[in-house]
Amino acid sequence: MTKLSPVLFIPHGGGPLPMLGDIGHTSLIHFLQQLPSQMDKPSAIVIISAHWEENMVSITSHEEPSLIYDYYGFPDEAYDIDYHLKGNALLADKIQRLLCDKGIESKLDSQRGFDHGVFVPLKIIMPDAQIPCVQISLVNSLDAKAHIAIGEALRELRDDNILFIGSGFSFHNLPAFFSNNRSTDSKNEQF
């Protein structure tokens, strides 16, 4: 029986804070640093970040994607983070074919770089950047059934030693997260 590559759902912290030595991210950094010792080395990574939504599944297809500093208000060094993570155009093509075979609309994006939901955790997990990576977007409807179908369409890649990573947090409404108000909609408050 073939051993399936794992599927991980990991936190990536608050913007670039894990890269800036923020003390509040110490546990997260330790957790991410320990991941490689707990699994076999994958041949490639497919990562889905909470920071990329499109009207259809979009797939990075550049061999050397740039970094997207998709955060604001941080010190200058947050915008100087460097990480030379390789893409994988052949894997991107295969992902698109698998989606097409299941009737799921998708597109290759040769211009899109990696957002901080990709480069922040991967720089901690594998600082040497030796494993190529393809990022795929969420579908902006955020429909659970659509995303389950995407996962099912790509399932066979786990037989090929491809690691899947979901990068985000179970809760991503930052204004509500940092608010002292327990409800973002006072009409729905229950006492």
- Of 1-5, 16-20, 42-46, where does the model show the most confidence? 42-46
Transcribe the chain into DSSP letters: -PPPPPEEEEE--STTGGGGT-GGGHHHHHHHHHGGGGSPPPSEEEEEEEEEEESSEEEE--SS--B-----S--GGGG---------HHHHHHHHHHHHHTT--EEEESS--B-HHHHHHHHHH-TT--S-EEEEEEETT--HHHHHHHHHHHGGGGGGTEEEEEEE-S---HHHHT-S-S-S-GGG---
What is the assigned CATH class of domain 7-171? alpha beta
Tell me the pLDDT of the chain averaged across its residues.
Answer: 89
Confidence band of 79 (pLDDT split at 50, 70, 90): very high
Better-scored residue on pLDDT, 183 or 84: 84
Predicted pLDDT of residue 184 = 45
- Lowest mean per-residue pLDDT among 43-52, 100-109, 162-171: 162-171
pTM, two decimal places: 0.86
Predicted pLDDT of residue 190 = 34
Q: Domain boundaries in the chain? A: 7-171
Confidence band of 14 (pLDDT split at 50, 70, 90): confident
Span 24-53, average pLDDT: 94
